[in-house]
Amino acid sequence: MSNKEFPQQIEENLEGTTVFNIPFPKDDDLSVLKKLSPIVYKHPYSIEYNYSYGLDSPFFAGLANKRFIVCREPESGYTYATPRGHDMYSGKETEWVEIVPEGRIHGFTVCHFGSEAFLPECPFVLILVEFEECDTLFLARLIGVDPNKANIDWIGKKVKGRFLRNAKLKPTDIYFNVVE
Amino acid sequence: MRPVYIVSGGVSKFVKARHDKTFQGLVKEAYDYALADIGIEHPKFFELVDGTVASYFSDHFTRQLMAGIMAQDYLGMCPKPSHRVEGGGATGGICFQEAWKSVASGYMDVCLAYGFEHMSHVETWKGNEFIALASDVSFDYPVGGFYSGYYAMMVTRHMAEFGTTVEQLAHVSVKNHINAYHNPYAQKRMRLTIDDVRNSPMVAWPLTRNDICVMSDGAACVIMCSEDGLAKLEKETGQTYHKVKVGGIGRGTDAMRMSDRPHQSYEDFYKYNALPNEMDDDSKAYYKNLWDKGFRYPGIHSFRAGRMASREAYKNANITDPMNEIDFVELHDAYTSSEIQTYEDMGLCRYGEGGNLAASGKVFMPGVEYGLDLPEKPICPVNPSGGLIACGHPVGATGLMQGVFALWQLQGTVEKHFSDPTLQLKDAKRGAIHSHAGTGTYVTVSIIEKEN
């Protein structure tokens, strides 16, 4: 079955993990292998998704056009500040409603550490915004405050949304400033 | 449903990195311990066990799909029935309850529940990213996905709503780290002070590094059985085991996005969420006052899923006064603040009173020196093992670890397993274990009791 017209060896290169002189017993006594230190190697892994926002897509289109739209159940009027295609109580489809992105800080934190993707941005301020027209909250970044002067009094402060000039199609296309 | 006994359990030492073994090896470590503790070897146990339930949270950490079957295979459990469960931080608690269901329903007489997480394959900041993917990736994660950040927002609201203080949070950290000082399985065995907690590096204001649990490598397992299963095991080994049974279970859920949490009326709270110990006139007046001041329930300061899980478990176990009818609680203290929030959900105090309870002494261990001025004596110690904050949180193992520590507490065998009697409660008859996911999305509560 072996065919010498085909290469019989894998062509080796020095890419990826390449190691030399890993210790191994030279005699027949393999019991010492129980004392071998664990082998740890680096393995990069990345994925590019073709991610769909599905029913929430109009929200991001709104941000890209500097419009803030939320979802309202047509009969009860229950309004979600964070988009949701169907109401959790009636099960009915919600409709899009535009509001002015001005509200108050419901809860906040200053992240001095974070996930790898956000480490370069530390410290950053996260807030949950409450809007008068809405029954639920919206998670956003608060910009323009001293992160080292966090104070519980920040809760209840009035905030106003600002849109990125160059939309990234992320919820961070809108961020908030404190309104003095 | 028929009675379900917990006959044995095992826990691997929780540490930051176990490079010496893959996840299968960690599970094997816990499994071998559990078998040795009841004096049976694998071939005989394999003849008697009907199946298993596997528990691990994230495929990302191991970069391995179907890791459950690999553990099943490594343990030598094939071709017995098995399935994997996943529910964020509550994965272990769900696994515990699925094993219970397997036995209680009559499907199995002997069931092994095992769980693990091998988190050290990535750096902490990448691990935080994986964990943050357990938040809405359209609306939450991109804003700054970080679970400590989400919980810190709950804290600030709890502080604003109820006047909870960072010193009260620090009491939880001191308690749990000092408890863990006597637990050889724990990852962080430290004698901390309030100042140590507050002066440690700030992670997400106001939570410091010592307010937050750590990632961990570890495994745990629990063996459950019916009366018939217990008889078979006892016949095989010639031993008589402690009769510790599951007294009742409960589970609850809530919206994935913290921003979507509803705000129920006072009337609905009393209709759907209140516990038997909140039905007195004083409590009704207390809550009416909160609602009159604009209180939202559950809002972001409370976990409705935890309350519903507690309510169901208490109903099933005939508990009407949890603080006085439960001898200890092993609860999911991923954060000092979430321990305080959970006191309230579990009815150890009313909503809004968790901060004061944390610093009161009622949830501390008797006979342990904490270096704190605690005004009251222990009633219902919470996290006698040290909890997640000090033991570590290898997610899929954590809820089962709680089950094992609760079992040993009720067996009266803590000294045997810890080589230290300090954490053994005298005459503990009933404990509760509580497992919690996400920002309060899945929560399980299981009651474990010594049979009279």
Domain assignment present for residue A94? The answer is yes
A78 in any annotated domain? yes
Domain range for A154 is 54-178
In a domain, A108, yes or no: yes
pLDDT surpassing 90 at residue A88:
yes
Q: Answer yes or no: is A145 within a domain.
A: yes
Q: By the 8 A CB rule, do A151 and B207 touch?
A: no
What average pLDDT does the structure give for chain A?
A: 95
Q: Which of B21, B140, B146 sits opposite A114 (nearest CB)?
A: B146
* ipTM for the predicted complex: 0.95
Q: Residue A22: is its pLDDT beyond 90?
A: no
What's the distance, CA B445 to chain centroid? 8
Which of A78, A118, A174 should be substituted to probe chain B, the one whose Cβ sees the most B Cβ atoms within 10 Å? Answer: A118
Answer whether residue A160 shows pLDDT above 80: yes
Residues of chain B contacting A126 with CB distance shorter than 8 Å: 143-144, 149-150, 152-153
A136 to chain B, any CB pair closer than 8 A? The answer is yes
The model's pLDDT over B235-277, given as tens digits with 9 standing for 90+, comes to 999 999 999 999 999 999 999 999 999 889 999 999 999 999 9
Name the percent of chain A lying above pLDDT 70: 100
pLDDT at B200: 98
- Our CA-based measurement puts residue A99 at a distance from the nearest CA of chain B, in whole angstroms, of 17
Tell me the pairing of strands B430-436 and B328-330: parallel
Predicted pLDDT at B87: 98
A116: nearest CB among B129, B148, B152: B129
Is A11 part of a structural domain of the chain? no
- B143 → closest Cβ in A112, A139, A150: A139
- Residue B367 tokens, joined: 């006979």
Per the CB < 8 Å rule, is A56 touching B201? no
pLDDT confidence tier of residue A14, bands split at 50, 70 and 90? confident
Listed in order, strand segments (DSSP E) in B153-297 are 202-204, 207-208, 217-225, 244-253
pLDDT tens by residue, chain B, 452 residues: 999 999 999 999 999 999 999 999 999 999 999 999 999 999 999 999 999 999 999 999 999 999 999 999 999 999 999 999 999 999 999 999 999 999 999 999 999 999 999 999 999 999 999 999 999 999 999 999 999 999 999 999 999 999 999 999 999 999 999 999 999 999 999 999 999 999 999 999 999 999 999 999 999 999 999 999 999 999 999 999 999 999 999 999 999 999 999 889 999 999 999 999 999 999 999 999 999 999 989 999 999 999 999 999 999 999 999 999 999 999 999 999 999 999 999 999 999 999 999 999 999 999 999 999 999 999 999 999 999 999 999 999 999 999 999 999 999 999 999 999 999 999 999 999 999 999 999 999 999 999 97
Nearest to B149 among A84, A114, A154 (CB): A114
Assess if residue A22 is contained within a domain.
no
How is chain A split among helix, strand and coil, in percent rounded to 5?
20, 25, 55
Q: In whole angstroms, what is the distance from residue B318 CA to residue B46 CA?
A: 35
Residue contact B19–A82, C-beta within 8 A: no
* Cα–Cα dist A105/A108, whole Å: 7
Element (H or E) spanning A161, and its range? Answer: strand A158-163
| Residues facing residue B113 across a β-bridge | B53, B222
Task: Flag whether A46 is in a domain.
Answer: no
Neighbours of A141 (CB within 10 A): 17
Give the helix/strand (H/E) hosting B148: helix B147-162
Give the chain A residue whose CA is nearest to the CA of B209.
A113
* A85 in contact with chain B, both atoms CB, cutoff 8 A: no
pLDDT digits (tens, 9 = 90+) for B389-432: 999 999 999 999 999 999 999 999 999 999 999 999 999 999 99
pLDDT at B411: 98
Full DSSP string of B439-451 = TTSEEEEEEEEE-
DSSP element (H, E) containing B194: helix B194-199
Question: Domains along chain B?
Answer: 5-122+216-244 (3.40.47.10), 247-450 (3.40.47.10)
Residue A44 has pLDDT above 80, yes or no: yes
Q: Which residues of A touch B143 (CB under 8 A)?
A: 126, 139-141, 171-172
Judged by a CB distance cut-off of 8 A, whether residue A104 touches chain B is no
Q: Give me the total of CB pairs closer than 8 Å, taking one residue from chain A and one from chain B.
A: 138
Q: Which of B265, B224, B270 is nearest to B244 (CA)?
A: B224
B286's CB contacts (< 8 A; 6+ apart) are B350
A26, part of any domain = no
What is the number of domains present in chain A?
1
Which residues in chain B have Cβ-Cβ distances shorter than 8 Å to A68? none
Give the model's confidence band at A12: pLDDT under 50 very low, under 70 low, under 90 confident, else very high.
confident
Q: What pLDDT does B323 receive?
A: 98
CB contact under 8 A, B203 and A113: yes
Token pair of B207, please? 């939570």
Are A101 and A68 a contacting pair, CB within 8 Å?
yes
A167 touches chain B (CB under 8 A): no
Residue ranges in B368-432 assigned as alpha helix (H): 387-391, 395-411, 414-418
What's phi and psi for B129, nearest 5 deg? -70, -45
Residue of B nearest to A41 (CA): B121
Distance from CA of B363 to the nearest CA of A (A): 27
From the list A53, A110, A126, which residue is nearest B138 (CB)?
A53
Give me the pLDDT at residue A42, please: 86
The chain A residue lying nearest B201, using CA atoms, is A112
Contacts of B140 in chain A (CB under 8 A): 139
Which residue of B lies nearest to A135 if distances are taken between CA atoms?
B262
Euclidean distance between CA atoms A118 and A109, whole angstroms: 15
